Amino acid sequence: MLMNAVSVEADDVVAKLRSYVADGGYKPGDRLESERELIVRLDVTRAKLRKALDTLEHEGAIWRHVGKGTFIASPNVASGPSNLAMLSQQVTPVQLMRARYSLEPAIAREAALHASEDDVRRLKESRDRATEAPTWDEYEAQDDNFHRMLAEATDNVLLLSLFDHLNAVRRAVAWNTVVRSSVRPARTHSSFAEHDAIVAAIEARDPKAAQEAMRAHLGSVSARLFGET
């Protein structure tokens, strides 16, 4: 009886957390409050909250990044039993970058062909938020948002779904720890000019330039991570 009672209580906490997320107006990529705040808002213990977060992460409803927080996952990402965990264990960072090379330049090309004026405006705002980010963590969150907005700008739900799957695996793959020598990216950080080139090509409705600009951007990212392009 005691075991059943504990199980029901755990289910109640999961249900409470699900309701909180559902009623909170969160969008994919939004960051949840800290564990300390959620403990107060949900009136639960830290141990029970963490078990509930584990459940939602396993379901694919959220994803967590050590040192950055807990984020809302896209509803487009399938959450079959351990599917994401299994993929992240099988994919290496190099393979992941190769997959990005295959998909994201095509996304940039389609965005140049189909982006609305509102899409372009949102891309510019996202680019600017990344440029002005006060910390590396905030920059990476805004960079992630910029790339997803590109996928949204394709006006193609299948491409968006493919991007979300790829991005979910990217978050889960165990990258080597990057040592930062500054609090935030330098003003000369190469991604800023690369983002400018991508947005300019999309605004100019130039699919070839957008595709090439994204390939150049990914090449720069690859060079920083692996010392190669």
In this prediction, residue 55 has a pLDDT band, given cuts at 50, 70 and 90, of confident
Q: What is the pLDDT of residue 148?
A: 92
**63/145 same-domain check:** no
User: Which of 99, 221, 70, 214 is CA-nearest to residue 147?
Assistant: 214
**107/31 same-domain check:** no
**170/147 same-domain check:** yes
Q: What's the alpha-carbon Rg for the chain, to the nearest Å?
A: 19
CA 138 from chain centre, in angstroms, equals 12
Kindly state the DSSP code that residue 47 receives in the 8-state scheme.
H
**62/104 same-domain check:** no
Give the separation between CA 106 and CA 214, rounded to whole angstroms.
9
Q: What is the pTM of this model?
A: 0.67
What residues make up the domain containing 33? 2-72
108 contacts 213 by C-beta, under 8 angstroms: yes
**54/109 same-domain check:** no
Average pLDDT over residues 11-32: 87
Residue 78 lies in a domain: no
